[in-house]
Amino acid sequence: MDCPACGAADQPIHDRQPRTWRHLNFFQYQAVLQARVPRVACTACEKTSQVDVPWAREGAGFTQTLEAFIVALCEQMPVLAVSRLLG
């Protein structure tokens, strides 16, 4: 796996950390994504870094799809109404 910090190829996986992201609601139910995201122990830069996931920005607790939906809602209605709608 490539190192997220320096880009060095074929680095070993150090461990896998459990992560959870809020996703778009599924009808009236809240949906979450859960994954064990690998951390790479780079021998080139000597850093241990978590790989980026394609569905969320670094450090975010929600998916990019949910983020885009929230932005679209906030453009059309008050933020308080959006928060009540999404919980």
Entry pTM: 0.82
Instruction: Read off the pLDDT band of 15 (50, 70, 90).
Output: very high
Q: How far is Cα 66 from Cα 60, in angstroms, rounded to an integer?
A: 11
Q: How far is Cα 48 from Cα 51, in angstroms, rounded to an integer?
A: 10
The whole-number pLDDT of residue 86 equals 86
Instruction: Read off the pLDDT band of 87 (50, 70, 90).
Output: confident
Give the distance from CA 14 to its chain's centroid.
19
The whole-number pLDDT of residue 2 equals 95
The whole-number pLDDT of residue 66 equals 96
Q: Is 24 exposed, middle or buried (0-12, 13-18, 19+ CB in 10 A)?
A: middle
For residue range 48-84, list pLDDT tens digits in order: 999 999 999 999 999 999 999 999 999 999 999 999 9
Specify the residue for token string 């690998």: 38
Average pLDDT over residues 38-42: 97
